[in-house]
Structure 1
Amino acid sequence: MMQLHKAILVDDEVYTRKGLIKLIDWEACGFQIMGEADNGEDALELIKSVSPALVITDIRMPVIDGLELIRLVTVNNIANPTFIIMSGYNDFKYAQQAMRYGVHEFVVKPIDEIEFTSILVKLNAKLGLEQAEQAKKERLIGSEMIKSLILGEASDATLTEWTHLLYLEAADHLYYLFAELNDNQSWQPDSVQISNALFKEIVQQELVRVTAANQPICLHEHHNRIGILLPSYMLDSSDGELERFLLIFRRKLETHVGERVFLYAGCPVHSLSEIRESYKAAKEATLYKYGHEDKRIVIYDQIKSEPINYIGLDSAEFTHFMEQMEELQLEAVKGTVDQWFHEFREKCYAPEAVKLNIHQSLMGIMKTIRSMDGDEQSISTLKPMLNWQDTNLSLGELKKLFMSFIEESMQSIALLRKEQTKGDIHKIKSYIEANYSKNISLKSIAALFYVNPVYLGQLFKKTHGTYFNEFLLQLRVSEAKKLLRQSSTMRIYEIAEKVGFSTADYFVTQFEKLEHMTPTEYRNKLM
């Protein structure tokens, strides 16, 4: 919604004022009439109280005329309005005198609607540009001010100037705040990203609304947070209560970006020269983020005595996790991760400690994939997982990302294992062909190749179109037939033993089952 500029009308003729209000579509022109006065003296008080952007005044009025009103406002620097003069007298002398005080326009009564509307529209555009430029200038001043204060580079004279600029009094104290936008990453295709510049604009806009501030708002863009200089008088609308203010402010910000704003408040200090201490305290408050995720507000004075943890994963715990991963026990892994993240919150792990624990698991999973001749770079969630701390992630979103990485890694491990087993099945076939005459079985081969025997039997059938026992039998009988063809002197029991049958009787039974004749009948047929 367009911000309307405040305007007041000054004319000793009530019909002129009311007529002008009805004649012009003020809102469409970018203005809102905030008051009227029928003489210069009342108009002066109205200007002091309203601080209008525009004053439209007649020249000839009792007590204080229009020109004197303009002179008093200009010389005494009362607000900084733009003036438009109306007069029933087309007198160039008035116009000349008015222009010396920087009057914007001199219009002659009766007012022409089209001409006056055009003047207002152009003035609205001009004021808009000036306001935007002034806001930009104030933001730059505020950012440079904070930077100098944090680095301790501001001189005493500069500190005095800035104290005056911010309307600070001896009784006032100051806080340094961080506003942090979380879960603003692009690892999910449907995620909504908000630029740092836009978030900074939202912070600026809502600070003005919450505090009804007329003084400059001082913000500084840190690496991944917005720093805010907060004088205590800005808490007046919250009865001077910092926590209440932060709750209101956070809710206002979240109307724009959803429930993903964290606020951190440093300790109170009594002058600009001490703001570095509040800044350092606010930075320390960020370490308690995950222990206060439900509230999303951390106030240094409330947490400074709370313990914070930098605990690493126990080696046995990590080994157990990796076993669950490699055995593809998804539900068990989910339970382990749930437990970890519960401890991160309940035991107030520092973000760096969370990072180390997550990183250890990450490296273990990547090592497993590499050992199976896989490429971990093919995992789409690897990059955001490696760089998650460069952005601000809530514990809930971090867990979601971590579980996505785990599930994708498990799928990769399962696929690699399947491909490996496919390669092994051909090796197994070659092994059988080379060792068919020995006492081999599906179970002994499965143990030799570290494969589940049931799974091996199913995979062998799927790959070669026959069951393992049938293949082995066909191979042995085929070799027996070759011996029967090539030697007329070998006895049946010798052939049975040579091709791997435990007894001659079993050999004869199986041979007859496949060839529908006994080994002797087969030999006699050849004779």
Structure 2
Amino acid sequence: MFKVMIVDDEPAIREGLKTIVDWDAIGFEVAETAANGREALQKYERIRPDLMIMDIRMPGMSGLEVIEQLRQDKLRQAHVLILSGYADFEYARRALGYGVDGYLLKPVDEQEMEEELRRVHRTLEQERRVNVRRSEPVPVHEVVEQMLLSSSGKEQNKAETELQLDWDRYQIILLELREGPGRPSEGLARQFRRLSDWWTDDPKNIVFRAGSYLGILTGREADRDSLLQLRQRLLAQEPEGYQVYLAAGEATGDKSLIHDSYEQAESLMNRRFWAGESGILQMEPAPVEPEDEVTVPLAGEWADRLYYAVDIRSLNAVERVMQELITACRSASLSERDTKSLCSHVLSLALSRLPGSIAGSGPAVQKCLSLIPELYAMSTAGQIIRLVLQQIGELLESMDGGSHESVMKQMTDFIRRHYSDNLKLEMLAEIFNYNSAYLGKMFKTYTGESFNHFLDQVRLDNAKEMLAQGMKVHKVAAQVGYANVDYFHSKFKKYTGISPSAYREQMGQG
């Protein structure tokens, strides 16, 4: 029997895990439980469990901190399965970098839990059978792992000395396999075997493990085409929906700089969120610093643009807005988490305005809003754009799809619906994807009036109706889109020949 320790600050979770699983049938026994991280470390010294099932977020000392301490000097002494809530995904992903065996989402599914335990049990049995002695030669891939992943400079130097390689070039490639948006794969062992089998005949390729990644130390500098071929070969072995990301550090002719190539590849993989459709990340020239200070995108402004794009039933306009928003986030050096938060906020603000302007759209909008949490599970910015397009595409279909009317008809209708907003010709040109000067000429040809004149006329026609109902002048000015009452007064008198207050009195007498 292999010993298990359950670590969770919730008593119900600890007791529940002890009872929902037939531990004996799988080959485990629950030897101990702990209510927090510090207690777990204290009991670890006495119990020496083969497997720890640990909550990632606990008060006082988190599960991640426990794993960090265990890995400092007991790298291969305990297997770990972590428990996390959906909102803790990024936290859990960090833990995978410490070589944990996997993670389970709360509430724990009994069948999934048993599958994970059987998988870990097979690994433990294999380790027991192999029982590698220290006197036996260390496999070359383990030497590479020690050189690259050890926190001790002394151990790194020792491993570098033991690595008997005399190549012209050295380059590190890291590989990440994901089973779907936001879900790290648990098939690394399988891919490790495949990669090793493919390159057995080539002594200038060494496959190794690097936490939640696979690594390749190659003596043949990999260009983009070879990385794409490798990615396609890996994807061909997996079910549909899997994603593969490859990050390549710079090649070097100095063996002592292999670690630099590894750190470059790791840094690139940390920026995987900005990877394009190819899934390939390579070192690029440093970006030219912009002359003007880049500002953080404001949710309200982008929500307006997205709302208008949805309002005119244009999925192409929605795509342009999202592409530009993502570009703005990257230019402002926002983190992955902040970018997801901003996109979620923009989408929520934009969609929440629709029921007030499009009759009957409420249920479809609520369905769309309910899918926003999925945005946080996306692995890349491109996946966020595709998710938003899919959601809004379904929303538009439920609202009878896009309009087939002419652009000018859409534009005049749009102005009549949104006359109280701060409308500008340049903004509408972006929405409708036209040059602003050209759009202005088209608009005047179609309506016989300039854009600004038409907008003023629509606003003032609505102002007349409000004044006729007895509304106060300053409230009418704000309602129809004029922030300055004096400006509204001059505009109204210019167009009607009478002041707003005189018009209201005149209509009241009638």
User: TM exceeds 0.5?
Assistant: no
TM-score using structure 2 length: 0.39
TM-score using structure 1 length: 0.38
Greater Rg over alpha carbons, structure: 1
